[in-house]
Structure 1
């Protein structure tokens, strides 16, 4: 039984959609609907990657289930690839959302080893890279349909780059000590000039991404991913 885990740039659901006159459709040609998720801070989710000759197709459990541990641990990626006609399959997760609410685009449902997940993204094959995700502390651009809400009075976890740009954490992994992202202040090996901080906003923080306006993102050295917001120094 093979069990491979991949951390990659879609840890924040970098959704690749085609906007058609009749609504949104996925790059696979299937309808995509807007889904609202609430009360999701620390909610567990997992992702399945189907790897084809020219693309990676990603399915996410966030709107379906909490990715049951027993089923997840028993996943056979070779069987998943065969069942879905892919060259290979890989697993990503589990992860835990860092926001309180979000709106995102999701498509068709498929079943992977007994776990249901919905279409979340299609990425170019080059996004697979070495299988270790984006280079830490090197920002990249992502077009995604996603609105994240971090409620006032609750901790928000951020990276600040040498120029003062702020990136808010989208989700975190199992390696975070005690499941508390605040502990990353001691766990991360920050690049020169970068800072990690925990802040508590007095108003709801809303970070919005659309296909028309790509956002800047960055990963840390433990494969958490963050979205830039605001202006430098704020």
Structure 2
């Protein structure tokens, strides 16, 4: 599997995983009202994902498991998980470890899918199934010649990202003026990346021509609403952003 395919799948897995939520952890408040899920106190909360799958005919079918809502992906246990152990256990031809990641939203409201209760343990870390992704041959071939970083992808979901007044937000600005607000940062490319690095993150980014990065402090709440579709992208460090 190429680096481009990995970038695409980790991005797609992250986006897909946001449509449903599992049981709450002790540090994250989660409420279920009818078909609405509301989660708060998310900023700088850590989570990890495991992706594995195989080809069915010409389609790559990948399952996405996440620690979100179950635990904070303990570092010692996460380090012991390898692609090979998961490949052997599940007879998978494709395995990727997506994490650690940290939320940069303060809360979220989501509607749509029912909570998924399928659970698995990877190296002793409990995870819930968040999504199953099918990538057809045409899309796989596209990825061989394209660069998915700094390219917006349409994600079909109904969510509201909540950023509280007084909180800093970190944004990418496209050449045409579109604003993309960071929804999570990752320690995949840079294992030492922390929230303290985000104000000066531009030094680590490989921004395409015409793009810029900025930090601003919110004077009032910012709600990013996706009604059926959200436009999201990743930078070269796998940090994820949604268009405002």
TM class by smaller structure:
0.7 to 0.9
Q: For structure 1, which segment, 117-126 or 182-191, has the greater mean C-alpha deviation from structure 2 after superposition?
A: 117-126
Counterparts of residues 63-78 of structure 1 (less than 5 Å): 63-78=69-84
1:140 to 153, 174, 177: 153
Aligned partners of 1:170, 1:198: CA distance in 2, in Å? 13
Q: TM-score, normalised by structure 1?
A: 0.77
Counterparts of residues 142-157 of structure 1 (less than 5 Å): 142-157=155-170
What residue in structure 2 maps to residue 21 of structure 1?
A: none
Instruction: Give 3-state SS (helix, strand or coil) of 1:182's partner.
Output: helix
Q: What is the CA distance between 1:217 and its match in structure 2?
A: 1.5
Aligned partners of 2:199, 2:13: CA distance in 1, in Å? 19
Q: TM-score, normalised by structure 2?
A: 0.74
Is 1:158 matched up with 2:171? yes
What residue in structure 2 maps to residue 97 of structure 1?
A: 103
What residue in structure 2 maps to residue 47 of structure 1?
A: 49
Q: What is the CA distance between 1:12 and its match in structure 2?
A: 3.8
What residue in structure 2 maps to residue 62 of structure 1?
A: 68
What residue in structure 1 maps to residue 203 of structure 2?
A: 186
Q: What is the CA distance between 1:188 and its match in structure 2?
A: 1.2
Q: CA RMSD in A?
A: 2.7
Aligned partners of 1:72, 1:128: CA distance in 2, in Å? 29
Q: For structure 1, which segment, 167-176 or 189-198, has the greater mean C-alpha deviation from structure 2 after superposition?
A: 167-176
Aligned partners of 2:200, 2:133: CA distance in 1, in Å? 31
Aligned partners of 1:145, 1:82: CA distance in 2, in Å? 36
Instruction: Give 3-state SS (helix, strand or coil) of 2:203's partner.
Output: helix
What residue in structure 1 maps to residue 182 of structure 2?
A: 169
Deviation sequence 1:135-166 (CA, Å, 0-9, x none): 22222222234332111110011111111111
Give the count of matched residue pairs. 206
Query: As a proportion of its length, which structure holds more helix?
Result: 2
Aligned partners of 1:98, 1:67: CA distance in 2, in Å? 17
Aligned partners of 2:52, 2:120: CA distance in 1, in Å? 11
Is 1:222 matched up with 2:237? yes
Aligned partners of 2:37, 2:91: CA distance in 1, in Å? 27
Instruction: Give 3-state SS (helix, strand or coil) of 2:16's partner.
Output: coil
